[in-house]
Amino acid sequence: MNPSAPALAEDAIVRLPRGVRLREDKARGGWVLLAPERVFQLDPVAREVLARVDGERDIGAIVDDLAAAFAAPRERILGDVRAMLADLILKQVLEVA
């Protein structure tokens, strides 16, 4: 992971900044994150995580929800979610609320 990526606490709340939108891409299939002059095509995992980013739930709550929905070990999900969200923050398509 990039060394300048922020460390995200479990009680941190993240949100999409203005100018970034999550939407379905019916023409090509799947979901995308639309940002200034950029389009991020999301894999199904990223889509599941971002669908739970509502600017209200903290990261811990999002991870709990994912662990329940996919019956997977919480610790592993937490690591993956933290890495993914930190990367999106570096790319400036996500911010800490």
Partner 1 sequence: MSHLDDPARPAPPLGMLAELTHRCPLQCPYCSNPLELTRKRDELDTATWQRVFAEAAELGVLQVHLSGGEPAARPDLEALVASCVEHGLYTNLITAGVNLPRARLEALAEAGLDHVQLSIQGASAEVNDRIANLPGAFAKKMAFARDVTAVGLPLTLNSVIHRHNLHQLPELVELALDLGARRLEIAHAQYYGWALENRAALMPPREQVMDALALVEAARERLAGKLVIDAVVPDYYARLPKPCMNGWGRQSLNVTPAGRVLPCHAAETIPGLAFWDVREHGLGEIWYDSPAFNAYRGTAWMPDTCQRCERHEIDWGGCRCQALALTGEASQMDPVCERSPYHDEVQTLAIVDSSRDEEFTYRRFTNNIIRV
Site for partner 1, rule CB under 8 A: 2, 4-6, 17-19, 21, 23, 25-29, 32, 34, 36-37, 39, 89-92
Specify the DSSP class assigned to residue 26. T
In sequence order, the 6+-apart residues with CB closer than 8 A to the CB of 27 are none
| Choice between 20 and 77, CB closer to partner 1 | 20
Q: % helix / strand / coil in the chain, to the nearest 5?
A: 40, 20, 45
Supply the minimum distance, in Å, between the C-beta of residue 76 and partner 1. 25
- Residue 34, SS3? strand
Supply the minimum distance, in Å, between the C-beta of residue 66 and partner 1. 25
| Choice between 36 and 44, CB closer to partner 1 | 36
Supply the minimum distance, in Å, between the C-beta of residue 7 and partner 1. 13
Supply the minimum distance, in Å, between the C-beta of residue 67 and partner 1. 28
* CB burial of residue 88 (10 Å; 0-12, 13-18, 19+): buried
| Choice between 4 and 11, CB closer to partner 1 | 4
